[in-house]
Amino acid sequence: MRTRFHQGLDLLKQKLLTMGGMAEQAVERAVEGYRRRDGELCKLVLDGEPAINTMEREIDELALDLLAMQQPMAIDLRFITAVMKINADLERVGDQAVNIAERVLHSLDLPEVELPADIPRMAGVARDMVRRALQSFIDARPESAQEILKMDDLVDDMNREIHRAMIAHMKQVPDALQQALDALLISRNLERVADHATNIAEDVIFWIKGADVRHHFGMNAVQP
């Protein structure tokens, strides 16, 4: 039988997953809005921001309630405080989506140009990182978290490559300077999404290192 406390922990996990889904969807919509020059999709991202902020507060309040409910064991303490940190990172993933959506909305009247910057591909990796980081937390698997740190290097490389290519493009095609700068800045937004995923992965590793997660979750596959 689950105690009220453990039911609360389950609900906390569930809400964090929902929060992750909302943040990831915001990034997906913003980047799709950029790719298709779709203002309506970008507006959906802006309209969705309050719901993400509300969910962030709900998760924090539930976490505080659980901390106050009983003397939590060290393992639960680390879990709950990790949720609060991950929660803050997910909210900022949503902020990056809003930044991208706003940039697209401001640039819709510029002529469409072909740019050597594969933003959708980079966005795919960054979103994948967020999803996997969250999953590594839910599954309490530090190995998955380690993989995310490697993916972050890939995203950093992509960002550097887009940065280099866009500067070259700005010099060669001054008429498309604003469009190339937009791509450069959106690339940086996505690099920050990947950074937040990395923060989450580091929180997972920190949490698991400091608590005997294997024992608590009955897992055998996890290496120290």
Q: Which residues of this protein are in contact with a copy of itself, per CB under 8 A?
A: 57, 60-61, 63-64, 67-68, 70-72, 74, 77-78, 81, 84-85, 88, 167, 170-171, 174, 177-178, 181, 185, 188, 199, 206, 210
Which is nearer to a copy of itself, 99 or 146 (by Cβ)?
99
Which is nearer to a copy of itself, 47 or 61 (by Cβ)?
61
| Least CB distance to a copy of itself at residue 67 (A) | 5
| Least CB distance to a copy of itself at residue 217 (A) | 19
| Least CB distance to a copy of itself at residue 221 (A) | 26
Which is nearer to a copy of itself, 41 or 165 (by Cβ)?
165
| Least CB distance to a copy of itself at residue 125 (A) | 21
Three-class HEC string of the chain: CCCHHHHHHHHHHHHHHHHHHHHHHHHHHHHHHHHHCCHHHHHHHHHHHHHHHHHHHHHHHHHHHHHHHCCCCHHHHHHHHHHHHHHHHHHHHHHHHHHHHHHHHHHCCCCCCCCCCCHHHHHHHHHHHHHHHHHHHHCCCHHHHHHHHHHHHHHHHHHHHHHHHHHHHHHHCHHHHHHHHHHHHHHHHHHHHHHHHHHHHHHHHHHHHCCCHHHHHCCCCCCC
- Measured CA to CA, the distance from residue 39 to residue 43 in angstroms comes to 6
Which is nearer to a copy of itself, 17 or 205 (by Cβ)?
205
Which is nearer to a copy of itself, 44 or 173 (by Cβ)?
173
| Least CB distance to a copy of itself at residue 168 (A) | 10
Which is nearer to a copy of itself, 131 or 188 (by Cβ)?
188
| Least CB distance to a copy of itself at residue 47 (A) | 21
